[in-house]
Amino acid sequence: MRRYSAFAIAREAARHHQGWEKAWRSPAPKDRYDVIVIGAGGHGLATAYYLGKNHGIRNLAVIEKGWLGGGNTGRNTTIIRSNYLQDPSAAIFEKSRSLYETLSQDLNYNIMFSPRGVLMLAQTEHEVRGWQRTAQANRLQGVETQFIGPEKVKELVPIIRLEGPRYPVLGALWQARGGTARHDAVAWGYARACSDMGHDIIQQCEVTGIRSENGQVTGVETTKGSIGCGKLAIVVAGHSGVLAEMAGFRLPIESAPLQALVSEPIKPVIDVVVMANTVHGYLSQSDKGELVIGGGTDGYNGYTQRGSFQHVEETVRALIETFPIISRLRMLRQWGGIVDMTGDRSPIISTTPLGNCFVNCGWGTGGFKAIPGSGWAMADLVAKGTPGPLAAEFGLNRFREGRFIDESVAAGVAH
């Protein structure tokens, strides 16, 4: 694979850009692989990348029923932060955030990481106490955050309305090294690096069954034929329960739609990410000038990837109270993603009842920020067969043993 560089751009410009290679190969599937990863979203591709980089596994296929990055990876709002309350959560999200900082260099692909900072507003006295507690926990965890007052919030976000009317801004939890990245570029960068390692990325290939023998996984049935494997990693976000059923076990998750929208592009008005959990919404501005807006999940289970007027109206109405300037903007487009949520709002990175079959799911609405750390931890689990320190607390057995990692509050609007 030819490296991208300023010299490469100049060379191709001189020959009318006729020499660029395809970013990744699109091979036909082999009869057998050492490892198959189901799901070519961010988490699946990151798993494959770190299996190759950290563990030297090359005979690997990533199977995707649609197109690469076409699920939740291409349907999120790109927030990156690690200011979680519980120690296991803070550890894996901080690992992920730190990997994001150098990911463009590691992949030789510009993921447009922007460490613009993330504000989580406190608009009730309860939230003030909650974020102050989180700031203290983060200090012990080695995560750089701080609780700031309303004056500092106004300095960082001049367009914000501090006085209410219903919910005044009393302060915020501020993580200066949080931010955003380009979601599809993260998937493309990982895919390009995986292909360069020799991994096969097989798109438009739906898994229709999982084969096993004597309690061990032996392969998968797909719309492109049977493919054997030594190990299987299920990394399919909102459809995790469907694949688990094929493998003969159930997962303690539920899937629900999550909606978001962007406004028409305008000149720069906000250069940080703001999450307003009390009014249930969050806001940032993209490089194209669009305001990226979203809130929580729908109140019902489903697999739709479409938006609805009711949810958009609810989210925008709430944000207008805190950001009156946005009331005159038009909505440009809206979309939905399918998120899978556990009871404690923490992920599952685990072995399963089927031997050599592993699952990574349950990230809820916080999956994008976790992509590098999730892939790192999942690769360690798949390669060694036992979880490393990042994944040790996120096993399926915690639900049987009552060892919940409760992030239902620390996750805010679950982003």
Distance (Å, rounded) from C-alpha 328 to C-alpha 116?
25
DSSP 8-state class, residue 290: P
For 262, half-sphere exposure in the C-beta direction (CA atoms, 13 angstrom radius) is 18
- Class of 118-179+255-342 per CATH? alpha beta
| pLDDT confidence tier of residue 410, bands split at 50, 70 and 90 | low
Whether 233 and 360 have beta carbons less than 8 Å apart is answered as yes
In the structure, what pLDDT confidence band is assigned to residue 415 with cuts at 50, 70 and 90? very low
Rounded Cα–Cα distance for residues 297 and 348 (Å): 19
Question: What's the pLDDT score for residue 409?
Answer: 57
How remote is the C-alpha of 92 from its chain's centroid?
12
Q: Do domains 28-82+84-108+183-252+344-401 and 118-179+255-342 have the same CATH topology?
A: no
**pTM across the whole model:** 0.94
Tell me the three state secondary structure of residue 93: helix
Using one digit for the tens of pLDDT, what is the confidence trace for 65-96? 999 999 889 888 999 999 999 999 999 999 99
> What residue spans define the domains of the chain?
28-82+84-108+183-252+344-401, 118-179+255-342
- What amino acid occupies position 284? S
CA atoms within 13 Å, Cβ hemisphere of 391: 28
**CB contact at 8 A, 334 and 195:** no
pLDDT at 351: 97
**72 DSSP assignment:** G
pLDDT single digits (tens) 213-267 = 999 999 999 999 999 999 999 999 989 999 999 999 999 999 988 889 999 999 9
Q: For position 408, what pLDDT does the model report?
A: 73
User: What's the CA gap between 358 and 182, in Å, rounded?
Assistant: 28
Domain 28-82+84-108+183-252+344-401: assigned CATH number: 3.50.50.60
Res. 412 pLDDT band, cuts 50 70 90: very low
Q: Residue 133 — pLDDT band, cuts 50, 70, 90?
A: very high
Within 10 Å of residue 387's Cβ, how many Cβ atoms? 19
What are the structure tokens assigned to 307, written together? 């938006």
Q: How many CB atoms lie within 10 A of CB 331?
A: 15
Query: In this predicted model, what pLDDT tens digit does every residue of 252-278 receive, in sequence order?
Result: 999 988 889 999 999 999 999 999 988
